[in-house]
Structure 1
Amino acid sequence: MSNNYSNTTLVPEAKNGLSKFKTEVASEMGVPFKDYNGDLSSKQCGSVGGEMVKRMVKQYENNI
């Protein structure tokens, strides 16, 4: 049985860019992301991830 992890970065070179993007979005939303995020609620983390996806989709749609 193979392990398929959905949270792996498909393009390893993009990892730093995604991390920076996550930090920027979290900062704009007032979510205190740092090295350890275990004190954040699932709602806070999910809202940052959702906003990231929303912005990526919008950027893609603007480019087509």
Structure 2
Amino acid sequence: MAQQNASNNTNQLLVAGAAQAIDQMKYEIASEFGVNLGPDTTARANGSVGGEITKRLVSMAQQQISGYQGQ
């Protein structure tokens, strides 16, 4: 199975700078979890970081949406 590099990603970002912010979040979470990201890390450890990113992004979106509804 071929590896997909960031350069092969065809998804378009809706917010400029989002990739850098998410990348920073990824390394912050990895540090919190004690995970050294990379090819020598288990899929479970790398996946735990990705799962936490998703949880935090959903939480941020929910807070933002609830803030808009209160205005």
> RMSD across aligned C-alpha pairs, in angstroms?
2.0
TM-score by length of 2: 0.67
Where do 4+ consecutive residues of structure 1 move more than 4 Å?
Answer: none
Unaligned runs of 5+ in 2: 66-71
Tell me the equivalent position of 2:32: 28
- The Cα of 1:14 is off from its aligned counterpart by 2.1
Instruction: Note the 1:1-64 alignment, pairs <5 A.
Output: 8=9, 9-11=11-13, 13-33=17-37, 37-64=38-65
Percent identical residues = 34
| Higher RCO structure, 1 or 2 (CA under 8 Å, sep 6+) | 1
TM-score by length of 1: 0.73
- The Cα of 1:57 is off from its aligned counterpart by 0.3
Q: Which amino acid aligns with 1:55?
A: R
> Take 2:54 and 2:18, find their aligned partners in 1: how far apart are those partners?
15
Unaligned runs of 5+ in 1: none
- The Cα of 1:10 is off from its aligned counterpart by 2.3
Compare CA radii of gyration and give the structure with the larger one: 2
